[in-house]
Chains A and B, each alone.
Chain A
Amino acid sequence: MGKLNRINEFTTPYSFREALRRGGLETKLSMILAGLGNIVHKQVGEGPSVSGAEAAYVVFMMTTGFRCIAMLGSLGTVGQQEIWDEVNQIYRYTKGDQSVLILLYGVAVLFLTALMAAAWHGAVKSAYKAECLDKAGKHVNSFFEDLKSLLHENLYRLFMTPPLTFIFGFTVLPLIFMICMAFTNYSKIDNHLVLFDWVGLDNFRALFDSGSILGSTFWSVLSWTLVWAFFATFTNYIFGMILAMAINRKETKAKGFWRFCFVLSCAVPMFVSLLIMRTMLQPNGAVNVLLRNVGLIGADASLPFFTNPTWARVTIIVINIWVGVPYTLLQLTGVLQSIPEDLYEAARVDGANSFQTFFKITLPYMLYITTPYLIATFTGNVNNFNVIYLLSSGDPVTDLASTAGKTDLLVTWLYKLTIDKQYYNIGAVIGILTFIILAVGALFTYRNSKSYKDGGGILI
Chain B
Amino acid sequence: MKKMRSAKQVRTVNNILVHTALAILAAVWVFPSSCG
On chain A, the residues within 8 Å of B26 by CB distance are 258, 261-262
- At the interface, yes or no: A243 with Cβ under 8 Å from chain B? yes
Size category of the binding interface on chain B: 10 to 19
- At the interface, yes or no: B30 with Cβ under 8 Å from chain A? yes
Judge whether A261 and B29 touch: CB under 8 Å.
Answer: yes
Shortest distance from the beta carbon of B36 to any chain A beta carbon, whole Å: 4
Shortest distance from the beta carbon of A415 to any chain B beta carbon, whole Å: 25
A-B CB pair tally, cutoff 8 Å: 48
Judge whether B32 and A264 touch: CB under 8 Å.
Answer: no
Shortest distance from the beta carbon of A265 to any chain B beta carbon, whole Å: 5
- Selected from B18, B25, B32, the residue in CB contact (under 8 A) with A273 is B32
Judge whether A268 and B33 touch: CB under 8 Å.
Answer: yes
Total A residues in contact with B, Cβ cutoff 8 Å: 22
Q: Given that A251-B11, A251-B14, A251-B15 are known contacts, is A246 also in contact with B32, CB under 8 Å in the complex?
A: no
- Smallest Cβ-Cβ distance to A268: which chain B residue: B36
Shortest distance from the beta carbon of A3 to any chain B beta carbon, whole Å: 55
- Smallest Cβ-Cβ distance to A266: which chain B residue: B33
Judge whether B33 and A267 touch: CB under 8 Å.
Answer: yes
| Known interface pairs A258-B26, A325-B29; 5 further A-B residue pairs with C-beta atoms within 8 A, sorted by A's residue number | A264-B33, A265-B29, A273-B36, A322-B29, A322-B32
Can you list 27 pairs linking A and B with CB atoms under 8 Å apart?
Answer: A246-B21, A249-B18, A251-B14, A251-B18, A252-B15, A252-B18, A252-B19, A252-B22, A253-B19, A258-B22, A261-B30, A265-B29, A265-B30, A265-B32, A267-B33, A268-B33, A268-B36, A272-B36, A273-B33, A273-B36, A276-B32, A276-B35, A277-B32, A280-B32, A322-B32, A325-B29, A326-B29
Residues of A whose CB lies within 8 Å of any CB of B are 243, 246-247, 249, 251-253, 258, 261-262, 264-265, 267-268, 272-273, 276-277, 280, 322, 325-326
